[in-house]
Structure 1
Amino acid sequence: MTSLVTKHIVSSTGERQKLLVDGCSGVPLFYPNLYITSQIRGSAKSVATIQSFITSMKVLYSWSAEYSVDIEGRWKRAEWLKIWEVDSLRDFCSLALRQALARKGKVVNIKQGRPVASNVNSPTKYVRMTFIADYLRWLAEVLNKEPGKGRRIEIDEMCKSIKSHRPKKKGRSDASREDKGLDPGLLQEVMEVSKPGHERNPYHGYSLQVRNAAIMALLHFLGIRRGELLNLRVDDIDFIANELRVIRRADSSVDSRIYQPLVKTEERILPISNRLAEILSEYVTELRSVFPRARKHPYFFVTHKPGPYQGEPLSNSGFGKLMSAMQGVAEEFSLVHAHAFRHSWNYRFSKALDEAGDAHSPEREEKMRSYLMGWKETSGTAATYNRRHIKEKAKEAILMYQRGIGRSGVASDE
Structure 2
Amino acid sequence: MILDSKNGLPLYYQNIYLSLLHKQKNKSFNTVLRNAYTLIAFENYLIESNINLIERIRAKTFLSFTEIYTLSERLRVKNKKEKVINIKEYKKINQENLHYRLTVISSYISWIYESYFSTAIYETNIILKSVNILFRKHKPKLNSQFYLNNDFKSLEKESLDILLQCIEPESQYNPFVDISCRKRNQLIILILQETGMRGGELLNLKISDFNKEKRYLKVCKRVNDPADPRVFQPLVKTFERELNISKKLSMQISSYIDNERSFYSKSLNHNYLFITQKSGPTEGFPLSISAYHKVIKQISRIEFNGVSFQNFTGHCLRHTWNYIYSLKYIGVTDQYRLTQLDRIRCVRMGWKMNSKTALIYNNRYISEETLKAFEEADLVNNEIINKIEGEIDESINVRKLLGVKSKRQQK
TM range (shorter): 0.7 to 0.9
Counterparts of 1:326 and 1:80 in 2: how far apart (Å)?
A: 47
Consecutive unaligned residues in structure 2, runs of 5 or more: 80-90, 393-411
Deviation, 1:199, is 0.8
1:208 pairs, out of 163, 178, 181, with: 181
CA contact (8 A) 2:46 2:52 kept: yes
2:59 equivalent to 1:72 = no
Letter in 2 for 1:323: I
1:302-347 CA distances to partner (integer Å, 9 max, x unpaired)?
1111111111111111111111111112261213221211222222
Question: Is 1:179–1:388's contact at 8 Å kept on the other side of the alignment?
Answer: yes
| Counterpart Cα distance in 2 of 1:141 and 1:375 | 31
1-structure distance, mates of 2:369, 2:319: 17
Give distance in 1, aligned partners of 2:137 and 2:34: 20
2:70 corresponds in structure 1 to 88
Q: What does residue range 227-246 of structure 1 map to in structure 2 within 5 Å? A: 227-246=200-219
Aligned residues: 372
> Deviations 1:148-175 (Å, cap 9, x if unpaired)?
x999999876764444233343446132
5+ residue gaps, structure 1, are 7-19, 98-117
How far 1:75 moved relative to its partner? Answer: 4.7
1:60 to 42, 50, 58: 42
CA contact (8 A) 2:238 2:349 kept: no
Question: How far apart, in 2, do the equivalents of 1:294 and 1:150 lie?
Answer: 53
Which amino acid letter does the alignment assign opposite residue 67 of structure 1?
Answer: S
In structure 2, give the amino acid aligned to 1:392: E
CA distance in 1, matches of 2:204, 2:124: 49
- The answer to whether 1:337 aligns with 2:310 is no
With over 3 angstroms needed to count, the CA separation of the structure-2 counterparts of 1:44 and 1:393, relative to structure 1, is closer
CA distance in 1, matches of 2:76, 2:370: 41
Residue 372 in structure 1 maps to residue 345 in structure 2: no
Matches within 5 A, 1:201-350: 201-330=174-303, 332-350=308-326
Residue in 2 that maps onto 1:108: none
> Per the alignment, in what secondary structure is the counterpart of residue 68 of structure 2?
helix
Change in Cα spacing, 1:83 to 1:328, as seen in structure 2 (3 Å) is same
Change (3 A) 1:228 1:397: same
SS of residue in 2 equivalent to 1:46: coil
Question: Mean alpha-carbon deviation: is it higher for 322-331 or for 182-191?
Answer: 322-331
User: 1:222 touches 1:345 (CA, 8 Å); kept in 2?
Assistant: yes
The answer as to whether partners of 1:346 and 1:385 remain within 8 angstroms in 2 is yes
**Cα gap change, 1:398/1:164 in structure 2, threshold over 3 Å: closer, same or farther?**
closer
Give 1:12's aligned residue. Answer: none
Q: TM-score, normalised by structure 1?
A: 0.75
CA-CA distance at 1:201 after TM superposition: 0.7
Code of the aligned partner of 1:373: M
1:393-408 equivalence runs, <5 A: 393-408=369-384
Written as runs of structure 1 = structure 2, the 5 A alignment for 1:91-170 is 91-94=73-76, 121-136=94-109, 160-170=133-143
Sequence identity (%): 26
- 1:273 Cα deviation after fit: 1.4
Cα distance change of structure 1 residues 222 and 355 upon mapping to structure 2, 3 Å threshold: farther
CA deviations over 1:253-273 (Å, ceiling 9, x no partner): 111112211222122222221
Structure 1 counterpart of 2:53, one-letter code: I
Identify the range of structure 1 (352-361 vs 50-59) with the bigger mean alpha-carbon deviation.
352-361
Q: Deviations over 1:379-402 (max 9, x none)?
A: 122354345334434444444454
Distance in 2 between the 1:260 and 1:180 partners? 26
Tell me, yes or no, if the aligned pair for 1:80 and 1:155 is still in contact at 8 Å. no
> In the aligned structure 2, how far is the partner of 1:150 from the partner of 1:242?
55
Query: Deviations for 1:55-80, whole angstroms, at most 9, x for unmatched residues?
Result: 44433332222232233335545655
In structure 1, the residue matched to 2:88 is none
User: What is the CA–CA distance in structure 2 between the aligned matches of 1:146 and 1:309, rounded to whole Å?
Assistant: 46
The match for 1:102 is: none
- Partner Cα separation in structure 2 for residue 278 and residue 146 of structure 1: 58
User: Closer, same or farther in 2 for the Cα pair 1:74/1:318, shift >3 Å?
Assistant: closer
Report if aligned partners of 2:343, 2:354 keep a CA contact under 8 Å in 1. no
The residue type paired with residue 324 of structure 2 is R
Which residue of the other structure, out of 17, 21, 24, is the alignment partner of 2:7? 24
Letter matched to residue 317 of structure 2? F
Greater Cα shift, 322-331 or 359-368: 359-368
Distance in 2 of aligned mates of 1:350 and 1:152? 44
The structure-2 alpha-carbon separation of the partners of 1:143 and 1:360, relative to structure 1 and needing over 3 Å to count, comes to closer
Is the CA contact (8 Å cut-off) linking 1:194 and 1:213 kept in structure 2?
Answer: yes
Cα 1:359–1:193 shift into 2, 3 Å: farther
Give the TM-score of the pair, scaled to structure 2: 0.76
Q: Secondary structure at 2:282's aligned position in 1? A: coil
Per the alignment, in what secondary structure is the counterpart of residue 259 of structure 2? helix
The superposition leaves residues 239-264 of structure 1 with CA deviations (integer Å, 9 ceiling, x where unpaired) of: 11222212222221111112211222
